[in-house]
Chain A
Amino acid sequence: MTYGLQPPEKGDSHPATRAGLSPQAALEDARRRLVRYAVKLVWNRADAEEIVQDAFKIAATRGVGLRDEHFEPWMFRTTGQLCLNHRRKRRPESLDTWIESSTTRTPLDAAMDVERLESLRAGVERLPDQQRIALTLRCIEQFDYARVAEIMAISESAVRAHVHQARRKLADTLGDPRDS
């Protein structure tokens, strides 16, 4: 597996600092996006924040910083790996409180949404690691294939294959429409 916590090669400055953000603001910006990503793997904000904190600690001990061109992909890769290795301390958030507000339809629709999304979430968690990461980055976070490939340190076609297999597997576990 290409997943490793290897420091990226030194390179140009981070896009955020190039965009004129102060290092402090750039780090905070990165932290927020990493927490968002980690939440979609562990589904608990407190756990996600701890994981991202650990990722920053690893970065600090390895001298990885904003000046590294691949800082952010590296942080995403490390955070993803920590999430996969994560031993759950807290229960994942139940989705019902978070879905209700997004639907203005009937309570029955909301309940069906919750049930469908809960089983989809469980299905994603059962996927093999690489497929789960690829699907989370591409279909949930909605990063483009090039960015996912950079984060996972694999080729774009490999990402496509993982995403395709993940979708097929989810369709199988959640009920193949061709059977109905």
Chain B
Amino acid sequence: MTADCDHFNRRIDDWLDGTLEDADRSRIDAHLAACSSCASMAAAERRMATDLSMLNDVGNRIAHQGVAAPPESTPRRRLNPVRIAAALAILVGGGYAAIHFATRTPSVNDSSDIAANVEESGPIKTTFMMPRDDTRMSVRMPSDNPRVHIVWLYDTAPAVAAVDSPVENEGEGPGPATPHVKPS
């Protein structure tokens, strides 16, 4: 190892930082041009400095995940769990709704106005209708929201009230379907 090699070893950090005096820098540049051993070490040190700054970028990205966008374009296209969940919810919800509508009698028949209102309101981005005979079901699915809202346009509770009401409201004609206390 020559004196120049030793000099480079001592000043390598400043050389990497680019904070060398002109005289030192030109001495090192001249040495690196002549000494292959130091030149390869210099290249490796530069590479490590670049890698460390890449680690910095990666760390900043990890620290900001959820705030800023995570990696924008990944070569491997992954299935988005949110989309899968939304698709499943629609399938399951739709299937359930079909069975539900087929087996139960809706108590509200003129729901079309309500459905139309739902369709037009506010932040809903995607709405599809599932008309069925005299009632409708509306499924709202805002495209940027994993939750799927299924709006049932009839009341399921009166089915119970309908069983009770002939007993409870006997002789009183049509009345509210709320529970009644028998007069003692």
Which A residues are within 8 Å of any B CB, using their own CB? 32, 35-36, 39-40, 43-45, 48, 93, 95, 97-102, 107, 110, 113, 116-117, 120-121, 124, 135, 139-142, 160, 163-164, 167, 170-171, 174, 176-178, 180
Contact = CB atoms under 8 A, between A and B. Distances in A.
B150 to A, nearest CB: 34
Q: Which of B60, B63, B71 has the most CB of A within 10 A?
A: B63
B51 A36 contact: no
Given A36-B63, A140-B59, A113 B54 contact: yes
Contact of A141 (B44, B56, B62, B71): B56
A42 to B, nearest CB: 10
- Tell me what chain A mostly uses at the interface: helix, strand, loop, or mixed: helix
Nearest to B40: A177
A102 B72 CA distance: 9
Contacts of A180: 40
B121 to A, nearest CB: 36
19 contacts: A32-B63, A36-B60, A39-B59, A40-B55, A43-B59, A93-B62, A95-B58, A101-B71, A101-B74, A113-B54, A120-B55, A121-B55, A139-B53, A141-B56, A167-B12, A171-B45, A177-B41, A178-B37, A178-B40
B54 A178 contact: no
Nearest to A177: B44
Interface in B1-56: 12-13, 37, 40-41, 43-45, 48-49, 51-56
B49 A139 contact: yes
B110 interface: no
Nearest to A95: B58
Give the top 7 A-B pairs by smallest Cβ distance, nearest first. A101-B71, A177-B44, A40-B59, A39-B63, A36-B63, A139-B52, A177-B40
Contacts of A160: 13
B89 to A, nearest CB: 27
Q: Which of B13, B60, B62, B71 has the most CB of A within 10 A?
A: B62
A53 to B, nearest CB: 14
A101 B72 contact: yes
A140 B13 contact: no
A37 to B, nearest CB: 8
B171 interface: no
A90 B68 CA distance: 22
Contacts of A35: 63
A42 B71 CA distance: 20
Nearest to B58: A98
Contacts of A171: 41, 44-45, 48
A93 B58 CA distance: 10
Contacts of A113: 54
A140 B44 contact: no
Contact of A97 (B37, B57, B66, B71): B71
Given A160-B13, A177-B41, A178-B40, A98 B61 contact: yes
Nearest to A110: B75
A174 B48 CA distance: 10
A119 to B, nearest CB: 10
